[in-house]
Amino acid sequence: MAHLPRKFGSLHPVRSRVVTPDTVAGGGRRLTAAEMSGGARRVLEAWRLGVVRYGDALRLQERLVADRRAGRVPDLVLSLQHPTTYTLGKRRTDHNLLLPEDDLRALGADIHRTERGGDVTFHGPRQAVLYPILSLRAIGLGARRYVEGLESAMIEVAALYGVKARPGGAGETGVWVGDRKIGAIGVRISSGFTCHGLAFNIDPDLGYFKHIVPCGIADKEVTSLRREAAVELPPDAVIHDHLVQSLARTFCFSDVEVKDESECADIICFDEATQS
């Protein structure tokens, strides 16, 4: 068994802790998740993994989905960022890459083809990525409600910083500020178990989006929380935490147990052959 990839980096080290997602910013109280779920205490594990190569994250998700299906791990969410990467969904819409793949690689980008839904998208530093590994049957959700929940989490976090975001309209996917896209969604659901997830632009280099047709939607801009917010933003790790907390509330988890990469090292393992 190999150790964590040497290129994993921490966004902001934290200790393992249990956080209740029932308190809103400013000290107010919302209806508790336990109350909403009939009194049952439900814990969502949040694994904070720092910067993770896309291929490593993909293999980890595949392993965790199998473990979740077998009951070896609970519902959890991976919270991370990727190095510069372009990904395509299962529709294989290569025509939405506006540069040859060799040119994209020359820019320092990796390219991956996946089995998630959605079109081509970009991942990179200062973009928050959440990959929930959930049993939708256990939390009583269908695919549509699940995707709506991912949208809701990003909209709620944007609102914390005074940004009015909305779900995509007809022909649009993800989350938007006016006609500018701030968050992308691409999921895979197999036998009621989820992987892949959402990408929320905190302050990535938006120039990389010019080399693709983001999510297959032409003539639309991409934006970021930094560009839209009129207030100073906290460290990225705080926004990651806000997304996780919002996700937990949306899906009626009563607690979030946060683990950093060192605490997951006995669970996460990769073959040395996958290291670059």
State the Cα–Cα distance between residues 95 and 204, nearest whole angstrom: 24
CA–CA distances in Å: residue 119 to residues 84, 89, 162, 173: 17, 5, 29, 10
- For CA atoms 134, 235, 121, 183, give the dihedral sign: positive
In the chain the first and final C-alpha atoms are separated, in Å, by 17
3-state secondary structure at position 145: helix
What is the phi/psi pair of residue 71, to 5°? 80, 15
Entry field: residues in the chain: 276
The string of DSSP codes covering 160-197 is HTT---EE--TT--SEEETTEEEEEEEEEEETTEEEEE
CA–CA distances in Å: residue 130 to residues 44, 45, 81: 13, 12, 9
Indicate the helix (H) or strand (E) that contains 61.
helix 54-69
Of 215, 252, 264, 269, the active-site residue reads 215
Residue 10 in tokens: 């921490």
Instruction: For residue 215, indicate whether it is catalytic.
Output: yes
Name which of 156, 138, 141 is nearest 198 in CA terms: 156
Q: Which residue has the tokens 């991370």?
A: 80
State the Cα–Cα distance between residues 31 and 141, nearest whole angstrom: 19
State the catalytic residues.
215
